[in-house]
A and B are shown apart, each in its own frame.
Chain A
Amino acid sequence: MAVAEAWLEKRAPVIWIVGLAVALLPAFLGPYPARLGINALKFIVLAISFDILARAGQMSVGHAAFYGIGAYAIAMLSVHEGVPVEFGPLVGGLSAAAVAVGLGFLTLRIKGAYFSIGTLAFAEALKVIFLYARKYTFGAQGIGIEPLFGGNVLLSYAYILGLMVASAATVRLLEVTGVNYALAAIREDEDAAAMLGIDTTKYKVLAFVISAFLAGAVGGFDAGYTTYVYPYEVFSVAISVAAMIMPIFGGLYTLSGPIMGAVSVYLAEEILRKWIPQGYTIVYGLVLMVSILYLPRGLRGLLLEKVFPALRGSEKGS
C-alpha cells in the first residue's frame, strides 16, 4: 500500500484537479443531479468531520448533536434576530464548536464505549431539550426559515462545494502541521502518548472542536437548504449513523476514505432505494459490519492494497 500511496502523492495536484472537475460536474447536468451532488457533498463534509474526531480515538455515535446545534443556531438567529440564512455554515459551525469546547473538557477522562454512549445520550438529550424549550425553538412545531439563496440550486451547490474543499484543506493542514501524528499517538495509546510529552488534552479538545465545527457547518447549511428545522429531524439517529458508516466504509484516518465512503454509500443508497423500497437500510448495517470484519482499512485500503497493484502489476511487475 505504501507504493500506491507514494504514487498518488506524486500526482496529488492532478488528482485534486480531476477531483474538483468531477465534483463540479453534477451542477451542470440539471437541478436533480445538482441536488444529488449537494447531498453527496454534505455527506462528505459530515464524514470528514466524524473522521477527524475518530483520529483522536473517539468514536462519536451521536454526531447529529453538532449537526443539530448548527441547524438550530442559524434557524433561531434567522427567525429571532433576522440574521441572513446564508450565514448558516459560519454560525452553525461556531455554535457547535463552542459547545464542543465545553464538552471536550468534560469528556477528557471518558473513553471508548463510554464516550460513544455519552455522545448518543447527548444527541438524544438535545432532542428533548430543543423539543421543550418552546419559547426559543418553537418546540415540535419546528422553525421554518427562508430558503438559501432564495432556492437557487447552483449557488447552494457552489457553497457546499466550497465547504467541502475547506474541510479537505483542514484535514491536509492537520496532516502537514503534525497534529495528525499527535492524534494518532493518542489514538494508539493515550497514556504512552502523554508520557512522550504530548499534550493530550489540547489535541483531544482540538479534534473535538474542529469536528464539531464542520458538523455544525453542514447543519447550518442544511437548515437553509431544506428550510425547516425540527428536533426529531436534525437530531436524528439517521444522521449519526450516516456520519459513522461513511468514513468507516471508506477508510478511517484518511482524507480520501471519508470522501469515497460518503459518495459510494450515498450513491448506493439512491440506487438501492429503487429496488428495495422498504428496509434498504439493511445495506448500511451490512456495509458497516463487513467493513469492520473484512475491510480494516476500508474501501481505500481495498483499492490501494489490492486493486492498484493488480492494475500496475501487469506493466511493471511489482
Chain B
Amino acid sequence: MDWKPIVAVVAILVILGGVYYIYSGREKGPESVRIGVVLPLSTASFASAGQECYRGMQMAVEEINANGGVLGKPIELVVKDDKGDPNTAITVATDLITNEQVPIIVGFYSSTVTYATMNAIKQYEPIVFVMGASSVKVESLVGNERWFFHMHPWDYHRQGTVIDYFLHYINPTPQKIFVAYEDGVYGSTSYSYFVNMSREVGAPWDIKGEPFKSGSSDFSAIILKAKDYDPDVFYIVGYPADYPVFFRNAKENDFNPKLIFIVAPEFPEYPKDIGDYVAGVDVWSPYLDIPQAKDFVAKFQSQYGRLPEYWAPFCYTAIKMVAQGIENAGSLDREALISGLESVQMDSPLGPVSFKQTGNTLHQVVDKLYVVQWQGGTVVILYPDEFKTGELIYPVPTWAESGG
C-alpha cells in the first residue's frame, strides 16, 4: 500500500497547524506589558468607530511609552478584530484570555457583540474594560461583576440627559415630540428608554415614534409622517449615514419642526450647511473647554487632519486609565489590578475620570452627556451649564428663512 499521499496530507496539516500556532501569538516581547484589544476593525458598519477608537489607543500608547511605559516596560496592544460579529468576538476574546493570557481586555463596541461575548467569557472572569455597549441588557448581565469596567454611558444616561434638557432648558417645553429611530438594537432601545423615562418623570409631551432602516436612501415617508404630526421637536436616533439624508428630505418636503435633535451630531462628515441649527446629545465634543481635550484635539488634528470623533478620546483615556491602574497595582496580578483600577483618578480629555458606581454598574466612567447645537458652521455647547459656550436657538429658522 502506498503511503505517500496520506503522509503528504498529514504533513500539510501538521505544517499548517504549526505555522498557525507559531503565528498565533508568539510575537510578544517578554519585556512589555501586553493589553488585549477587541474591536470591530473591518465590518463596514462598525469599523469607523472601531478604527477611531484604535487611533485613540495608539496615541495613548505612544505617549505612555515615550514617558517610560508602565512598571518600567513599554505597553504593547494585542489587537484582535471582532468583525462586529458575536461569534468572532467570543473566539478572539477566548484567545486573548486563555492563549495570549493578557491581564486585561479593552474594547468592544456594539451592544450585541458585547452581550454575547460577556455571556461566553464570564466563566473565566477576565478583567474587561468595555468602550461601547449602551444597552442595559449588558448591564443586567455583568454590570455588577467585579471584573467588568465600563466607559460608555448607558442608554438611560443618554435618554436621561435628553429628557432633562427638553424639560428644563427648552422654552416653552415641547408638547409634541416625533422620534425617528433606527430599527436595530441601538435605536429601538433608545426609543423605549425615551418613552419610559418620559412617563416616569411625568413629562408633558406626547410622543410619536417611527422606526427606519439605517442606511436607506430616502426618508421622505417618515418626514411626511412627521410633518403631518407637526411636532415641536423632531428627534432622530440614527447613524451618521442617515442624518444628511434626513436633513435633505426635511428641506425638500418643507418640514419645519421647532428643533431637529439627533444623537451624536459631531462626526467627521457632518453636513454643516444643511445641518445648521440641528441640536443633539453627545458623549463628548471636540469643542469642550477642557485643557486635556484641547491638547488631544490639537494633536489628533495634526496627525489626521480632522477633528476626532468621541471614540478617539474615549479609548485614549481608557488606555491611560489602565496604565495608571497598573501603576497603582504595582503588578499584573488580577486582584491587585482590580484594586488598582478602582483607585484610578485622573484628568483626561473627558474631564476628570474615575470608576464610579452608578445604577447597576460597579465600575462606570462616563455617566453624563452634553447637549450641543450647530450654529453657523461650528458647534455651541449648551449643557451642562459649566461647559456652556452659547445659547440654544429655539425655534430654529424655517428652511425658507435660512435661505433655502
Contacts and interface: CB of A to CB of B under 8 A. Distances in A.
A11 B2 CA distance: 11
Given A32-B94, A230-B112, A233-B86, A278 B42 contact: yes
Given A30-B98, A144-B137, A311-B4, A35 B16 contact: no
Interface in B135-169: 135, 137, 141
A178 B2 CA distance: 31
A228 B99 contact: no
A39 B42 contact: no
A30 B99 contact: yes
B254 to A, nearest CB: 30
B2 A316 contact: yes
A14 B20 CA distance: 26
A139 B183 CA distance: 8
Interface string B201-230: 000000000010000000000000000000
A35 B1 CA distance: 36
A32 B91 CA distance: 7
Nearest to B86: A226
Given A30-B98, A140-B183, A277-B81, A233 B42 contact: no
Contact of A32 (B16, B99, B112, B187): B99
A131 B184 CA distance: 8
Contact of B98 (A14, A32, A271, A278): A32
B74 to A, nearest CB: 21
B113 to A, nearest CB: 9
B85 to A, nearest CB: 7
Nearest to A303: B9
A278 B185 CA distance: 24
B283 interface: no
A161 B76 CA distance: 37
Contacts, number: 109
Given A32-B94, A233-B112, A277-B41, A267 B120 contact: no
B303 interface: no
Contacts of B364: none
Contact of B8 (A270, A277, A281, A311): A311
Contacts of A270: 20
B372 to A, nearest CB: 27
A35 B94 contact: yes
Contact of A22 (B13, B81, B183): B13
B42 A232 contact: no
B85 A233 contact: yes
Contacts of B137: 141, 144
A32 B95 contact: yes
B123 interface: yes
Interface of B is mostly: helix
Contacts of A267: 16, 20
B4 A312 contact: yes
B207 to A, nearest CB: 17
A20 to B, nearest CB: 14
Nearest to B191: A140
Interface in B341-397: none
Nearest to B51: A278
A90 interface: no
Nearest to A138: B188
A279 B41 CA distance: 9
B119 interface: yes
A21 to B, nearest CB: 10
B189 interface: yes
Contact of A31 (B20, B23, B98): B98
A39 B89 CA distance: 12
Interface residues of A, number: 46
Interface string B91-123: 100110111000000000000100110011011
A281 B47 CA distance: 14
Interface in B45-69: 47, 51
B167 to A, nearest CB: 26
A193 B42 CA distance: 46
A147 interface: yes
A228 B86 contact: yes
A228 B41 contact: no
Nearest to B140: A144
Contacts of B122: 151
B119 A144 contact: yes
Contacts of B79: 277
Interface string A208-241: 0000000000000010011110101100001000
Interface string B176-207: 00000001110111000000000000000000
Given A227-B119, A230-B185, A315-B4, A31 B86 contact: no
A312 B20 contact: no
B117 to A, nearest CB: 9
Contacts of A316: 2
A228 B112 contact: yes
B324 to A, nearest CB: 28
Contact of A141 (B4, B116, B188): B188
Contacts of A222: 87
Contacts of A308: 5
A296 interface: no
Nearest to B135: A141
A294 to B, nearest CB: 21
A147 B23 contact: no
Contacts of A306: none
A172 interface: no
Given A142-B112, A144-B119, A278 B87 contact: no
5 contacts: A39-B87, A140-B189, A144-B115, A151-B119, A267-B16
Among all A-B residue pairs, the 4 with the closest Cβ atoms: A140-B188, A228-B116, A227-B119, A32-B99
Interface of A: 7, 11, 14, 18, 22, 30-32, 35-36, 39, 131-132, 139-142, 144, 147, 150-151, 222, 225-228, 230, 232-233, 238, 267, 270-271, 273-274, 277-281, 307-308, 311-312, 315-316
Given A132-B183, A227-B120, A273-B81, 8 more contacts: A31-B98, A35-B91, A39-B87, A150-B123, A222-B87, A271-B20, A278-B42, A316-B2
Interface of B: 1-2, 4-6, 8, 10, 13, 16, 20, 23, 41-42, 47, 51, 79, 81, 83, 85-87, 90-91, 94-95, 97-99, 112, 115-116, 119-120, 122-123, 135, 137, 141, 183-185, 187-189, 211
